[in-house]
Structure 1
Amino acid sequence: MPPPAGGDADAYAAAPLLNCLLREVAEPVALPGTHRTYRLPGVDRLLRVRGERRPGAPEVYTAGHWHPIGHTELVKLVAEELRRHTGLSNHELPAEMIDSRDAVAALLAARARATVPEDPYRRSEQSLITGHPYHPAPKARGGGPVAGWLPYAPEAHTRFPLVLLAVRADTVVEEGDTSALDTLGEAPPGYRVLPAHPWQLDLLDLTEAFADGRLVRLGTTAFDTWPTAAIRTLYAPEHDLFLKFSLDVRITNDIRRLWRHDLLKLGRTDTAVTAAFAASSGRAAWLSDHGYRTADFAFEELAVLVRDGLHGRLLPGTTPLLSAGLVEGFEGNPLESAADPAAWWEAYLRAVVPPALSVFDRYGVVLEAHLQNTLVAVDAGGMPVQALFRDAEGVKLVPEVSRADGWERLVYCLVVNHLTEIAGALAERHPGLDPWPAARRELARHDLREITGLLTSPTLPGKTNLLLRWTGADGADARYLPLPNPLVGPVPGDPTFYRS
């Protein structure tokens, strides 16, 4: 999907930053015209934008006139507003916003030279130029040189072999089923195979481990892998295997390392989710994170997580597509070409909503069912028929969290982050379609005690990524603000609607 103000990097980078600013800080002002106008209370300025889901062309009212501002000036404006709004300074986040914009420019240039993949699933995973639509710096890549990360960027349609290491057997730490790793190469006697992400290796100093023989370089795999939207999760199609690695780079809210505490609870979490899906009737599938392997001297840095592939999970004759890609857009996107968009949407809801609600209500499994963790399989006609969910690291279990907290997280991930975006993209591409009556009907079919509240509450929880990053909160410390709930009735005319 093109950015709201053309194809340049400023427009792509401004849209999610504006979404955050308008959601979390700005106050809507009702003025006539084609723009949406807001007051920034900290700096006491009026700001107006064009577009709704992906705002662009920002202008500031100064000296009696509206003045367009580019991305650099927008970053300065946001930083000053947040300093006054919070009373805190932050020098890192503005730099990340600029880095995100520069990364988009590099990605656009790389895509212009790249060959578009033939596989529609790969196209969907590698389509996210905008990325998270409500994060101030969704494409920041740690501030490093472009040459360091661009060869591994999914948005540039890259593919590359894995680095193969041999780790001395007495230093290996593993849990679960990691046997698939032993098929990737052959280790010398007394060693075990340990694949590594080449970008992560560039970020680490393992000189001592190589020097004393704890690690040995075996070369690279004879086959290529390609990065999914998650960047550090790679797919090896020849082995039908997903591998998730540590990556010591901040991407959106977190340093993307496989943290020890998450790995140590992985088996318990994945076992619970796998059992919940096995006991639930329906077509939905869980891509199990069924084991990890690492070295005790670099437990987090060299960890690799083994995830199910697709072939044993997909319904025959179907094609998986990343839900986030459906929103962003790619060649062959069935959301755009649906002959009957209302029927397509109803089929999408039937595929995605029931399994997420069922495993929560019956088994206490809170899926992180947002756009990047959900695949939707479509039939030959492009109609959704199956949902596949992934990423045990983001799953919460009741009673480790309370049912109320788990429900709030599920509503944010499934409804606010996921269904609202799909609904908005569908309505944008098919004018006249109101997607919310069908969503209300689908949700009302399910006998959870929380559903009545969901369908009648005036608000939904929206995550505050801009304020989280500005105040230096932990990336996992979700904080929510109330957003207008489209499930209670049509609200697009409400000037606050697109704060959601």
Structure 2
Amino acid sequence: MVLIPPPAGDAAVSPDVTERADAYAAAPLLNCLLREVAEPLSHAGDLHVYRLPGGRLLRVRGERRPAAPELRTPDGWQRLGHPELVRLVAAELRRHSGLSNHELLAEMTDSRAAVAALLAARARTSEPDDPYLRSEQSLLTGHPHHPAPKARGGGPAARWLPYAPEARAHFPLVLLAVREDTVTEEGDTSALDALGEAPPGYRLLPAHPWQLELAARELAPAFADGRLLTLGTTPFPTWPTAAIRTLYVPGRDLFLKFSLDVRITNDIRRLWRHDLLRLRRTDAAASAALAAADGSAAWLSDRGHRTADFAFEALAVLVRDGFHRHLLPGATPLLAAGLVEGFAGSPPDGRQDPAAWWEAYLAQVVPPAITAFAEHGVVLEAHLQNTLVAVDADGMPVQALFRDAEGVKLLPEISRAAGWERLVYCLVVNHLTEVAAALAERHPGLDPWPAARRALGRHDLPETAALLTSPTLPGKTNLLLRWTGADGAAARYLPLPNPLAG
């Protein structure tokens, strides 16, 4: 296991790390505040002024990743550090909603502390050679419109840094043996049996070492009475992906998704029973939809799951396809979110043909997602962390791969209108808008939206026609969602200006 000694608070890190941690943590929090409750007033050059719910004025630099927040006071503009920004957000949300939420305030602080720990850890490690792994482990900002995207449950960094993708971690799995009469499984879980050998009367069950620590009290009786045995660890490492609880096993070309009893962004990241019991249906629908689509798009199937009946959610492990039977020959998969965040060797950087690259990107990502909805009633959760874009030797996009049956919705289980709104949020707002903005930032003068309009306009649907003329897009309100204590799956949207309606 790769153990990365954490810093003992900001006193143990350089002023540069402290300043960078503030900037990384402030940008998504400001994005939420400005999108969800503020009123834009004016801008001059790179400076943008907003009115907050209580009437106070806030000034920031930049739009995509706002920075250097300043509050207007009788003595002029006062610079806000991250602690002052958190207090300002709390005051404005109390005024806006009439509610308080001390838990979210702690998460905002925890998220900033986590970024500082990650920055310090990255300074002591090197990037993986594999560009796919570099893309998965690049997300220091993370979700660009979440108030606490890097929160790790409030625990000390020593507990989670060894398993953090942003710290470039890799580690072996713990191998458990589960008494055979307590095993429950569905689908194809044969890949798990190839990870080791269980004693007679037991089945093999890999476990995430962090989850074993988190669920230790719940699992202690089963270890005591022999329903669970510890067999050791795998002789090979696994690599945490951007999802943290989903690990890639390069030598086996296999993904394994685990429960983690910790809140990450909006939810406690358990494999919940109700989700596991519907996965075969959603996975089969997504697989069929993408198999029927024209082109090279592929679905990474969630083949099956295995767990123990006495700890159904705590010990659940989901088996997901690897790449190599799906990838085009010579293609390299990259996480879409990594292309936005940036990493060494990222294909959009420094290109002489950014417009052509963007056209190729749209041609791979848009048609399969729209066709799955229109022809199969499948709503892919096609956001940045669930979309992989494979590139050829020249870095041009040649294939899209989608994943995560847990986030797939099916018509008519949800209405067509609700399904379309979710698809537009995931594909356009969360995904294409971010890639377009990053590309335009790196290539000044590029207008990415005419190409995006053409790509969506090729689909003869009432919904796409309406999308291209609507003045607004649905923006998810993660700050208000968390502040009001709503369930993470209970998405709420507010209207955002639609750059497609040009």
Q: Residue 251 of structure 2 aligns to a residue in which SS?
A: coil
1:59 to 2:70 alignment: yes
Select which of 226, 240, 246 maps to 2:259.
Answer: 246
Equivalent pair of 1:459/1:482 in contact (CA under 8 Å):
yes
User: Which moved further from structure 2: 469-478 or 57-66?
Assistant: 57-66
AA partner of residue 414 (structure 1): L
1:446 to 2:467 alignment: no
Select which of 213, 216, 221 maps to 2:229.
Answer: 216
Pairs within 5 Å for 1:387-402: 387-402=400-415
Q: After TM superposition, give the deviation of residue 443 of structure 1 in Å.
A: 0.6
Separation of aligned partners in 2, 1:228 and 1:95:
25
Distance 1:59 1:278, change over 3 A: same
1:315 to 2:312 alignment: no
1:22 to 2:34 alignment: yes
Pairs within 5 Å for 1:88-487: 88-204=99-215, 205=217, 206-487=219-500
AA partner of residue 186 (structure 2): E
Separation of aligned partners in 2, 1:429 and 1:437:
18
AA partner of residue 52 (structure 1): E
Percent same amino acid among aligned pairs?
79
Equivalent pair of 1:338/1:382 in contact (CA under 8 Å):
no
Separation of aligned partners in 2, 1:7 and 1:75:
16
Pairs within 5 Å for 1:2-13: 8-13=20-25
Distance 1:449 1:235, change over 3 A: same
Q: After TM superposition, give the deviation of residue 116 of structure 1 in Å.
A: 1.1
Separation of aligned partners in 2, 1:307 and 1:143:
29
Equivalent pair of 2:18/2:116 in contact (CA under 8 Å):
no
Separation of aligned partners in 2, 1:34 and 1:192:
60
AA partner of residue 197 (structure 2): E
Separation of aligned partners in 2, 1:157 and 1:31:
39
Equivalent pair of 2:296/2:399 in contact (CA under 8 Å):
yes
AA partner of residue 28 (structure 1): P
Q: After TM superposition, give the deviation of residue 338 of structure 1 in Å.
A: 2.0
TM-score (norm 2): 0.95
User: Which moved further from structure 2: 425-434 or 23-32?
Assistant: 23-32
Q: Residue 460 of structure 2 aligns to a residue in which SS?
A: coil
Q: Residue 335 of structure 1 aligns to a residue in which SS?
A: coil
TM-score (norm 1): 0.96
Please, which runs of 5 or more residues in structure 1 have no aligned partner? 490-500
Question: For residues 426-474 of structure 1, what are the alpha-carbon distances to aligned partners after superposition, in whole Å with 9 as ceiling and x for unaligned?
Answer: 0000000000000001111111221110000000000000000000000
AA partner of residue 33 (structure 2): L
Q: After TM superposition, give the deviation of residue 6 of structure 1 in Å.
A: 9.8
Question: For residues 231-285 of structure 1, what are the alpha-carbon distances to aligned partners after superposition, in whole Å with 9 as ceiling and x for unaligned?
Answer: 0000000110000000000000000000000000011111111111222221000
AA partner of residue 382 (structure 1): G
Cross-structure match for 1:494:
none
AA partner of residue 39 (structure 1): R
Q: Which ranges of 4 or more aligned residues in structure 1 deviate by more than 6 Å? A: none
AA partner of residue 382 (structure 2): A
What value does the CA root-mean-square deviation take over the aligned residues?
Answer: 1.0
Distance 1:33 1:437, change over 3 A: closer
1:50 to 2:61 alignment: yes
User: Which moved further from structure 2: 61-70 or 429-438?
Assistant: 61-70
Q: Residue 368 of structure 1 aligns to a residue in which SS?
A: coil
Equivalent pair of 2:140/2:166 in contact (CA under 8 Å):
yes
Q: Residue 450 of structure 1 aligns to a residue in which SS?
A: helix
Q: Residue 248 of structure 1 aligns to a residue in which SS?
A: strand
Equivalent pair of 2:248/2:254 in contact (CA under 8 Å):
yes
Cross-structure match for 1:493:
none
Q: After TM superposition, give the deviation of residue 32 of structure 1 in Å.
A: 4.2
Equivalent pair of 1:166/1:194 in contact (CA under 8 Å):
yes
AA partner of residue 416 (structure 1): V
AA partner of residue 179 (structure 1): S
Cross-structure match for 2:52:
40
Pairs within 5 Å for 1:77-96: 77-96=88-107
Q: After TM superposition, give the deviation of residue 7 of structure 1 in Å.
A: 6.1
Q: Aligned residue pairs: how many?
A: 484
Q: After TM superposition, give the deviation of residue 33 of structure 1 in Å.
A: 5.5
Question: For residues 333-372 of structure 1, what are the alpha-carbon distances to aligned partners after superposition, in whole Å with 9 as ceiling and x for unaligned?
Answer: 0111322000000000000000000111000000000000
Separation of aligned partners in 2, 1:30 and 1:337:
32
